Amino acid sequence: MIEHQLTAERLRNLPLPTPEAGSKDERGSVLVLGGCVEVPGAVLLAGIAALRAGAGKLKIATVKSVAVPMALAVPEAMVIGLPETEEGAIDPERAEERVAKAADRCDAVLIGPGMTTGEATTALTVALLSGQPSSSYVLDAGALCSLGAHAEAVRKCGGQVVITPHAGEMAQLLDRSRDEVEADPLDAALRAAELLQAVVIMKGAQSWIVDPGGERSLYEGGGVGLATSGSGDSLAGIVSGLLARGTEPMTAALWGVYLHGAAGMRLAASCGSIGFLAREISNEVPAIMREVACEPSA
């Protein structure tokens, strides 16, 4: 299988859907599900990134105790407060019905930023995958680690799933050691794509983007500054926003990785190679999208 380098020139041959003048519904809606009392900001980063990538509407579903401050921090979003456990995490059993209602008619659903890991979170993820067949999905962080035992639920989504693991999450998904994944991240990505029939963004200093058919692309940009708390939440949000606009999963993954990496390079140039914040990444995205789409090929 041919390996592709992910570049702006390549993306110009994979144009993003351009919504006609009209309502925000035509740009698609995103639901971001996640967060807990200890990590409330992950869904904020992801949600803002989804809007910056062009989604028209945003819902955030998170623990009830942080719903009001979340709504004030992201006034563009509808914020849904979910039942929580004594430890301040989403209570999957009591939240399932409300989450399913929130996901209804959403074009893209992002599950996992800031969520605790474990079978309860996995059960909620599987229930959502089974109940919203018309949506596209991004699975990140807490939604990933136990998913290998529930691969059939992901496969039933018909290729409309993108997963965004780092090496530790991929190790749990495939029941391998982290050292094995880091030694051959491409092999891990190919195995996960085959197992789940999903597009895989294998995050790292170099990122692999792989689809179930074995197509693979390598992105080597971005820089060390992107290795910072919340960066992955921003990436997942960007991909979700692109999916909401009607972008095919592999194309959304390619654009998402490039936009995220290019934003990191711009921030490194303006702020320094390290020290910029994840909250700053998505602010760079609209201009980069415009420039990639409009700049003629060399």
Residue 120 maps to a domain:
yes
Cβ atoms of 88 and 37 within 8 Å: the answer is yes
Q: Using pLDDT thresholds of 50, 70 and 90, give the confidence band for residue 21.
A: low
- Is residue 151 a known part of a binding site? no
Residue 258 maps to a domain:
yes
Cβ atoms within 10 Å, residue 156: 12
Q: Which two tokens stand for residue 169?
A: 């999450």
Read off the CATH number of the domain in which 221 is found.
3.40.1190.20
CA distance 208 to 187: 10
CA distance 38 to 270: 31
Residue 102 maps to a domain:
yes
Residue 185 has pLDDT above 90, yes or no: yes
Q: What is the mean pLDDT of residues 198-211?
A: 95
Q: Using pLDDT thresholds of 50, 70 and 90, give the confidence band for residue 297.
A: very low
Write the pLDDT tens digit of every residue in 121-137: 888 899 888 876 668 99
- Is residue 42 a known part of a binding site? yes
Residue 19 maps to a domain:
no
Cβ atoms of 126 and 157 within 8 Å: the answer is no
More confident residue, 60 or 149: 60
- Is residue 233 a known part of a binding site? yes
Look at the chain and report how many structural domains it folds into: 1
Cβ atoms of 82 and 61 within 8 Å: the answer is yes
Q: Which structural domain, as residue segments, surrounds residue 266? A: 3-14+24-294
Length of the chain: 298
- Is residue 232 a known part of a binding site? yes
Q: Which residues pair with 259 in a beta bridge?
A: none
- Is residue 206 a known part of a binding site? yes
Q: pTM for this structure? A: 0.94
pLDDT value of residue 119: 80
- Is residue 205 a known part of a binding site? yes
- Is residue 150 a known part of a binding site? no
